[in-house]
Structures are given as structure tokens and as C-alpha cells.
Structure 1
Amino acid sequence: MGALDAHAARVGQGQTVQFRPSGSSMVPLIRSRQLVTVAPVEAARVEVGDIVLVRVAGTTYLHLVTAVDHTAGRVRISNNRGRVNGWTNHARVYGICTAVDGVPRPRTAGKIRL
């Protein structure tokens, strides 16, 4: 189990977590080792442009929602450099990034699962 899997498990249990992901796939939205806050999410409320903690095809990512299919209850996940990770259902969307280095992310109000 990787670090993102452990964070996803905690968020899936209803906890809000903070961690410092590494990598450059989300620059400039998230730079390597910036502190992110991820809260449990009502997956049906997720929109294009949200950053979510999600499992796609066996891998856990903190990536962008780039398409939403409300009818099928699924979202498409991509990094911020144009690489599409794939589609996944709402049950695999664990959390939404609410802040990066303490700066709130836009449009997260009303999406957090209490």
C-alpha cells in the first residue's frame, strides 16, 4: 500500500487529511511537496476542474476531474499536463482537495461529505 492509498483509506473513513504529495504532474496547481488538505467528498457533486483523491484502474491519484458523466455516476481523471488516467465511478472518489499550502481551492463549498 502506497502513501496515497493510506490517505485515501483515511479520507474514505470520513477524516480530513493533510499531506505533501511528490511529483510534477499537477504543476502549477500543486507543486511537489506542497501541503494539501483533502476532505471527504460527495462524489455526485464533483465538477470539472476539481482536484480529487481517487482510484483509477488500480492506482490512487490526486488529480483533476476533466469530465463528468452524471448519468453513469462516473468521472474522468487526468493530470494537469494532458495525460488522461481514465474513468472511475463515484465510489472510488474519496476526497476533494480543499486547500494547497493553506490557500483554499475554489468551489469546494457544499461538496464535502460530513
Structure 2
Amino acid sequence: MLTGTMGAIDMVAARVAGGATVQFRPSGSSMVPLVRSRQLVTVNPVDPALVEVGDIVLAKVAGTVYLHLVSAVDATGRRVQISNNRGRVNGWTGHAKVYGICVSVDGVPRPRTAGKSLL
């Protein structure tokens, strides 16, 4: 799920990577029903070593920033696989490019996010 322009999602990623909690309204349908287009999401900086399959993260894969699911974890290789909610795999990315975790959607807390944030 991406925001309207690549510049906007890149700015959000930079702020989260810098340690800020960010709220924004991504657009797109690839994460329905978990996140619908233009719902308000809250993303906190994350310890990438703590993310699990099923977490929604803000991460860069092959030069593109996504708000997508963690679909696999390679703890030894310090990387995660990122996919949308429709079965499309975006690819693997290293922990250094996993910027944040989605902790709420329209004010509703996401499950299993406690203790994963760097805040």
C-alpha cells in the first residue's frame, strides 16, 4: 500500500526511521481488509528483530517503500519478506530497511505490536 506520491511515502519513512511516530493515510487496495485506502494509520519506529509474520511494517524493498505485511522472517540473515494482503510477494529486505510497525488503523490497535516499538 502506497501513498499518493512516492515522495510522500519516502518522507514518512524518513521520519519514522529518524525515531518519530507518524500518522498518515495511505492509498491503495493491496492491504484490504487490514488497511483500506485512506484509513488513518499510526506507525512507530520498530526493532526489526522483533517483527513477526503478520505484522504490518513500513519497509523499503528494491527501492520502493511499502506499508505491507511481513510474510516470512529469516532471523539468521537479519531480513524479512514483505508481501501485500493479496498474496503478492514484494521481496526480501534487510533489517536496516524495516523502518516502522503499524500500531493502529483508524485508532484501533493492531494485535501483537506491544514491545516491538522503539518508543
TM-score, reference length from structure 2: 0.94
SS in 2 for 1:2: helix
**CA shift digits 1:52-90 (9 cap, x unpaired):** 000000000000000000000000000000000000000
**Percent of counterpart pairs with the same letter?**
78
Question: In the TM superposition, what is the alpha-carbon distance from 1:4 to its structure 2 partner?
Answer: 1.0
Match for residue 69 of structure 1?
Answer: 74
**Pairwise CA distance, 1:35:** 0.2
- Residue 2 of structure 1 deviates from its aligned partner by 1.7
Equivalent position of 2:29 in the other structure = 24
Shift of 1:31: 0.2
**Structure 1 segment 6-45 matched on structure 2, within 5 A:** 6-45=11-50
1:53-68 pair list within 5 angstroms: 53-68=58-73
Mark the runs of 5 or more structure 2 residues left unpaired by the alignment: 1-5
RMSD between superposed Cα atoms in Å: 0.6
Paired AA for residue 27 in structure 1: V
Return structure 1 stretches of 4+ with deviation > 3 angstroms: none
Residue 3 (structure 2) aligns with: none
Report what 1:106 is aligned to.
111
Matched positions, count = 114
Q: 1:86 is matched by which residue type in structure 2?
A: G
Report the counterpart of residue 82 of structure 1 in structure 2.
Answer: 87
